[in-house]
Amino acid sequence: MLETDSSQDASVTAQTGPSEPVLSATEQAVVRQETDATMAAPVVSAPVPVDSSAADAVTIKEVFQMVGAMVFVFGFAALGFNAMYYAGY
């Protein structure tokens, strides 16, 4: 029986690419200074004061929406009880 070289059995040679350039001490210092200048401390804005009475107030739209949801739920409950009554449960 003949043996075949598949991609799994074939030997792989290491590929050498261009290495990173070596920086001198002065170049490293310049790069470090530029990096520190570029990456300064982040700017944080001060929080904006909010009127708590306006934020906590419930609007008329929310009240009507809640009342509508309650009517919807009670309507389906009544419909279910009506169906149970006629079904004999």
23 contacts 31 by C-beta, under 8 angstroms: yes
Higher pLDDT, 52 or 86: 86
pLDDT of residue 9: 57
User: Rounded mean pLDDT of the chain?
Assistant: 80
Instruction: Give the pTM.
Output: 0.39
Domain ranges of the chain: 59-89
Band (39; pLDDT cuts 50, 70, 90): confident
Residue 67 has pLDDT above 80, yes or no: yes
For residue 47, report the phi and psi dihedrals to the nearest 5 degrees: -65, 145
- For residue 29, what are its two tokens? 């210092």
- What number is the average pLDDT over the span 12-16? 65
- What number is the average pLDDT over the span 44-66? 81
